Every structure is written in structure tokens, then in C-alpha cells.
Amino acid sequence: MLSEIPLQNLYNLLEPITVPRNSPGARFTNWGLSYTCLPAAIFEPENEFQCELVLELAKREGKTVRAVGVGHSPSDLACTKEYMIRMTKLNRVLEVNSEKRYIVAQGGITLDDLHAHLAKNNLAMSSVGSISEQTLAGVVATATHGSGINFCSMSSTAMALTLLLADGTRLTCSRSEHGDVFLATLCGLGTTGIILSAQLEVEPAFRLREVQRTLPFEEITDNLDDHVNRAEHVRFWWFPTKDRIRASYSNRTAEPKSPAGSWWWHTFLGHHVVQILLFIARYISNLNSWVANFACWLVSAETVGIDDSLKIFNVDCRYPQYTTEWAIPYENTRACLLEFREYLHKEYANPHGLRPHFPVEIRFTAEDDIWLSPSFGRKTCWIGIVQYKPFGLTVPYRKLFSAFERIVQRHSGRPHWAKAHPFTPAKLREVYPHFNDFQRVMKTVDPRGVWRNEYVERHLVGVDVADAEVGWENGVGMGGMKTEKHIGWRVHKARQ
């Protein structure tokens, strides 16, 4: 019985998996360099028993526990000032079934590693987002998505999950077993338990033939259905300063590999030179429009590339960035883009107006049945904007993001959960028919709120976390802690 382990022994057992307090790893910062926090302790378990030990300690010390992957969420979703449990060492593949086309893996495995195991078995995920650095549990918990109007988010490909619940028990759930916990946990933001492992539906490995071409804005928006259905996976990058859209159409193919692009063009010019230009534009904001035009020109030629699916799905997301992304009903796409375009053009016409970065990313997913999935019950268009941070430095973004959020909300937008947004439970209840069901399950499986953090309290529970010690990097409070209460400190003392 875990409850019978003396406290000192518990500290000793946890010491090897506790990130030393004085190491740089004791502070958590997300990939985008936009949020940071100093948890009371960070644990890196290597097995499931150690997860249970962390939970036991949290229970005794009245702490919450936040499970995290690699911290790629561009908000404070993963942040906590209490206990953080980094899952990346629970990264084993447990089963591969090529015949039935599924894989079972621990939640902390990165997609990159998962893809490698799948490839060895001649399998692949059906639709992948822009990168593959995230953990399996991280993408499942946030409805991470790729693009393709007949493809759901990656959470939808989960067939079953094994959870560590707040009471220390394990639960395996699927659509047929504990279906309500399952539907609450897919895109459940880590609030129902730790995802120890997931069974994922996959398909035989495939190549994609991607055609990219740049077209006038109206050509796409006036013929949206045609373009969106032209291929299995369609995505757009819109350059509003030039009113042109770079369109990508990808289909499965048996043709031999023939990658498009060159290091000089895409890496040297498209990545490094653009970063230097964006850096200069921090001081001369009008230059941003020129940089956007340059980036648009760089990708103006039609290209055809054939490669393994992953190499086509994943793209260069460039630099640390502020980002926001919203999911609107597919049928509102044109109206929403036109309204945002009008806003941007007014800004460009104003000598003191905003000069946002590029491009605006537009993607599509099929509807699903996951309670908190932004694609719940509707075919979805995702519109995402970024403001890059050249060399990690700050740039203005708040005014642009606020204006964008007002527009997408007028078109029934639901925010991407991993990205910062203003929605509170009252608003979420309006846009998610199962929000009450979600809250009921969350409170039933975790009555004490062990898995909550400030983000969860703010958006899903409704607690005003005015003193949250987590904030935008230039904001207040970066997580000052009472050091004598740190497990890291206690473990250190116990060792002396």
C-alpha cells in the first residue's frame, strides 16, 4: 500500500526522478518562449509506479500535479506552480498490430519516435500536424490536428486510453468501455488523469504527392469547396499584404520519391535570412510588410514533391512565436476571411496601423464527437496567426490577436485549447453542447482537483486565478516559490 510508505522513504524513492532545484531544468518554459513557470518540483518518472508515487506525495502534501509532454503548447496550458510530472521517459511502444492497424504506446513517446516505430512496421498516422516533436498524450489531450476535410483531429484516432486516476487506480477506457471518461479525456487537457498509454488507429505507410501553387485570394475564397476537396489534404498559407494564397494539395500516391525544395531556398533564404529581416523589422515596423512580400515571393513558383507522408505533413514552423488559432464552422470560412482581410487592409492603409507577420494558416478537419474538440459536430476551418519572435525577442501581438479573436467569435469560433484564449466556462458552455457533461466527469474522477492548474481553473472550472504565478513573459509573476516547501529541497536535505 502506497499510503503505508513512510514520508522519508517516499522522498528517497522520488529523489532519483526529481529535477534538481538548482538546475536550469527546474524552470519550465514553453517552446514558443511565451510562458514560463517555476513548479514546486518537476518529476521525470521512468515507470508507472513512479507516477503513482508522485501522486501519493501530492496527496499527502495537498499539492496538484500537472502532467506535461514537451511543453509545445503555446499557452500556460502546461504550466503549474505545484508539482509537474514530465512524461517523456514513459516512451515505450507496447504493441504494434499491422494486421488490425493499430499501435499501443506510452503517453510520453514523441510523435517522431512513434513514426519511426510505425515506419519499421510499414504503418503511418493518417493525418499529422505541422510538427512531430509533441508527445502522444500531448496531442491526444489537445485535439491537435493536421489538415484534410475528411480527416479528424489526431485525438479521434485514439481507440483506447489507459489512465492513472486521481484515486491512484488505473482505468482503461474506449468508446465501448467507460465511454464518458473516454470522450472527456480525448481533448481533456490532462484533467481526468495521466494518460499512461494510448491505442492509436493507423494505416499502411504511404507517400504523398504534394502540389503547391500560389493563387489570388479571391480564386480560393470564391471557389472554396472546389479547392478544399481537390485533394485529401489541403492547406493554405495566406499572405494578406500581397492578397495571395499559397495552396498545398496532397494525395496518396505510389509514385517514387522526388522531394521538392532546396536547402539554399528554404533553409538559408526562407529561414535564416527571413529571421534577420524580421529582427530588423522590430525597429522599423513598415519593413514587416516588405518581409511578408519577400516570403510570398520565395514560395511563388509551382512545386511538385513526392515523399513519405510525414515529410509532406511536417513543415518548418520557423522561430519561437506568439500564436492563436480558432476553429470556425467550415461554411463560415469565406465570410470570416473576408472580414479579417478588410480589417488587415485598413491597418495597412493607416500609416500608423499594424504591420503583422505572415502567413495566416488555414486548415480543415472533419467533424468529430469528442466533447471538447473544437471540431465537435461540425466540419471545421482552422485559422491560425503567428507573430514570430526573431532570435527569441519580443514583438507586439496583443492588438492584432484581440481584433482577430473578435472576428472569429462573430463566426462561431472555438479556440484551439493549446493556444491562449479568453473563453470562460460560461462562454464554453454556449459553444460546446457537452461542456456540462465534461465538467461532471472531470469532477467525478477528480473531486479534489489534483490534475488542475491555473489554466484549467480559469477556463474549465471558473475560478478567478488573479494571483496566478504564471504569465506572458513580459507579464507579472514568474512563479516565486516558498522554497522550504519544495520536494526538491526536501529530497536534497534528506540525502545530506
Ligand X SMILES: Cc1cc2nc3c(=O)[nH]c(=O)nc-3n(C[C@H](O)[C@H](O)[C@H](O)COP(=O)(O)OP(=O)(O)OC[C@H]3O[C@@H](n4cnc5c(N)ncnc54)[C@H](O)[C@@H]3O)c2cc1C
Q: HSE (CB half, 13 Å, CA atoms) of 165?
A: 16
Q: Collect all residues with Cβ–Cβ distance below 8 Å to 300 and sequence separation of at least 6.
A: 214, 244
- Least spacing, CB of residue 158 vs ligand X, in Å: 12
Residue 159 to residue 102: CA distance in whole angstroms? 9
Interface segment toward ligand X; rule CB under 6 A; list 56-64, 135-143, 280-288, 462-470: 135-143
Site string for ligand X, 313-342 (x = CB under 6 A): ----x-------------------------
Residues contacting 245, CB < 8 A, separation 6+: 214, 215, 216, 217, 219, 220, 236, 237, 238, 239, 362
Contact stretch for ligand X (CB under 6 A) within 4-12, 123-131, 243-251, 348-356: 123-131
Shortest Å distance, C-beta 232 to ligand X: 16
Residue 135 lies near ligand X (rule: CB under 6 A): yes
Residue 70 interacts with ligand X (CB under 6 A): yes or no: yes
Residue 87 CB, nearest distance to ligand X (Å)?
Answer: 4
Nearer to ligand X, 243 or 473 (CB): 473
Of the residues 2, 31, 180, 429, which one makes contact with ligand X according to CB under 6 A = 31
195 is an interface residue for ligand X by CB under 6 A: yes
Q: Which amino acid is at 162?
A: T
| Contact between 380 and ligand X per CB under 6 A | no
Cβ-based nearer residue to ligand X, 306 or 327: 327
Q: In the window 87-116, what residues touch ligand X (CB under 6 A)?
A: 87, 107
Whole-angstrom distance, CA of residue 397 vs CA of residue 185? 32
Cα–Cα distance for residue pair 141/137, rounded to 1 Å = 6
> Which part of the chain contacts ligand X (CB under 6 A), choosing from 186-194, 241-249, 336-344, 429-437?
186-194
Which residues are 201's β-sheet partners?
Answer: 102
Contact 66, 453 (CB under 8 A): yes
Q: Does 68 bind ligand X (CB under 6 A)?
A: yes
C-alpha cell at 6: 513512510
Dihedral Cα 487, 28, 138, 191, nearest 10 deg: 50
Position 197 contacts ligand X (CB under 6 A): no
Q: Which one among 194, 228, 292, 299 touches ligand X, defined by CB under 6 A?
A: 194
Q: Is 37 in the site for ligand X (CB under 6 A)?
A: no
Nearest approach, Cβ of 472 to ligand X (angstroms)?
16
Locus of grid cell 518540483? 41
Stretch that binds ligand X, among 57-65, 72-80, 117-125, 299-307 (CB under 6 A): 72-80
Give the nearer residue to ligand X in terms of CB position, either 339 or 457.
Answer: 457
Amino acid identity, position 407 = I
* Cα dihedral value 30, 33, 39, 41, nearest 10: 70
Integer CA distances (angstroms), 17 to 81, 106, 173, in order:
18, 18, 28
Residue ranges that bind ligand X, judged by CB under 6 A: 31-32, 66-74, 77-78, 87, 107, 129-131, 134-135, 137-139, 141-142, 144-145, 189-190, 194-195, 317, 418
